[in-house]
A and B are shown apart, each in its own frame.
Chain A
Amino acid sequence: MARRQWTSGEADRAEFREERRSLFRITVAPTIWALHFAASYAVAGLTCARLADDGPDVVLMRLVIGAGTLVALGLIVWLGWRSWQQWDASDEGRRLDDQPTSRDRHRFLGHAAFLLSIVSFIGVIYTVLPVLLIGSCL
């Protein structure tokens, strides 16, 4: 087969390979929010439809959702930290990610992923508020 002669060289190509995934990576945090949301709704719905309206079943439900929340928040914080590093926020000129370079594209995706993990974090916290504030299936 023919040979490719990329002027930007093999190193850049390797990074490009890595980045193909990072478009999906920006959606990981909101996906965790979605899974947590769906799981919480399913657990609460099942408890209220199939088990008692009140009492120990509801306590158990709250514990299960609480545990799931800790896992979800932990993952989101970790993702946020990873993407913060990818954003390279220590750099003074970090707000500039608009150049047509691999570096800027890399940082842009990091920044977007970081912001999405903040929104997802808030979303997960909001999801557990009803579990904290409403203690029965009525």
Chain B
Amino acid sequence: MGKSRGLRTFAMILGPGVLLSACDGPQSALSATGADAIAMEGLFWVMLIGATLIWILINGLIYYVTRVYTGSLSPRLAHGLIVGGGIIFPLVVVTSLLVYGLSAMPEQRAMGDGVKLRITGEQWWWRVEYWPEGADPANPPVAVSANEIRLPAGSRAEIELTAAKVIHSFWIPALGGKLDMFPGRVTRMSLKPLSVGVYRGQCAEFCGQSHALMALNAVVMEPGDFDAWLKAEAQDAAPPKGYAATRGAEIFAQQGCGACHAVRGTPARGGVGPDLTHLGGRTSLAAGILPMDREALMKWILSPASLKPGARMPGYDHLEREDLSALATYLEGLK
């Protein structure tokens, strides 16, 4: 991310470049763009070089004394090795590392100064609520969303985490470290993204059958764009446009989707499943496992449990194909 194609091609030609590009990815902690993740990526490379050198030294020595020079060396040297290698050397290296690591902790978990989010881990999706900068979190959130978070670049967002039934863990590797989400308890963290982009995250604490299928995207936007987006996200759902979407809205109501899902501005107020008010505006479907398009929506509505084992949403395989398509059109239109 943020590296130009030309630079990357150039890097591919060079050996280490191949290695570096092998480290990239939408969910890679080695493609860090958040302040906290960048600090840890830097620390990792330093530690990797140090660890490699130490490993070569120790094992080289073992190789030397068992294979190359099998004669007897002086006991004084051997005792020196125990004191030097066992106490003095690790004391110096480990103490420096520890002091750096401990000093880095307050900054990594500093209080946020921008937008505030509360994310609730559900089996197996994410409930997301927003409060704009300066708002009192005792008030109701200005916007409720699911399975995607959006953050403004350049400021530190405060994030509260909790869970509904079981423990989950919230993690966007490119932005920063993870934190667990507990039922009956609120934990807090903060993230400071620096570059615009879409970064993938995933639940990192085993949370049951479909733990593997609980992902989300973090969309980092320019601050101005973010403010506009949040304003729009706080609005009610746009009314359906066109025949198919209108028909889809009717089916949505008929099938009782509103018992579990909310679409603000319509009678659908359910709180069990994800809020769908601006579903079509999200970058992925079903907690990061499907693209956001009509095809995928149809597939999902038809049989959620075959895509996400154990999911609580029932399948709608009794719907006519046309109705299914209309329903998907309606949902995709909720931007």
B102 touches A133 (CB 8 A): yes
- Whether the pair B91, A95 counts as a contact (CB closer than 8 A) is no
A134 touches B102 (CB 8 A): yes
Contact across chains for B99 and A135 when beta carbons are under 8 A apart: no
B91, A129: Cβ atoms closer than 8 Å: no
B-side contacts of A118, CB under 8 Å:
87
Main secondary structure of the interface of A (DSSP, over half): helix
Tally of contact residues, A, Cβ under 8 A: 11
**Interface: B110 (CB within 8 A):** yes
Which residue on A lies nearest to B188, using beta carbons? A138
Q: Roughly how many angstroms separate A129 CA and B94 CA in the complex, as a whole number?
A: 12
| Residues of B in contact with A, size category | 10 to 19
Q: Nearest chain-B residue to A135 (Cβ)?
A: B106
Cβ–Cβ contact B99 & A134, under 8 A = no
CA distance A118 to B91 in the complex (A): 12
A41 on interface, CB distance cutoff 8 Å: no
Judged by a CB distance under 8 angstroms, whether B111 is at the interface is: yes
A95-138 vs B, CB cutoff 8 Å, 1 = contact: the mask equals: 10000000000000000000000100010001001100111101
Question: Does A129 contact B98, Cβ atoms closer than 8 Å?
Answer: yes
Give which listed residue, B87, B98, B106, B111, contacts A126 with CB less than 8 A: B98
The answer, among B91, B98, B103, B106, for a CB contact under 8 Å with A138, is: B106
Given A118-B87, A138-B109, A138-B110: A130 and B79 interface contact (C-beta under 8 Å): no
Interface centre among A134, A136, A138 (most CB of B within 10 A): A138
- Asked whether A134 and B105 contact (CB < 8 A) given A95-B79, A122-B91, the answer is yes
Interchain CB contact under 8 A, B106 and A134: yes
Question: Cα distance A138–B98 when bound, in Å?
Answer: 19
Q: B79 — which chain A residues lie within 8 A by C-beta?
A: 95
Q: Which 9 A-B pairs have the closest CB atoms?
A: A133-B102, A133-B103, A130-B102, A138-B109, A129-B102, A134-B106, A134-B105, A134-B102, A129-B98
User: Can you give 6 A-B contacts (C-beta < 8 A)?
Assistant: A126-B95, A129-B98, A133-B102, A134-B102, A138-B109, A138-B110
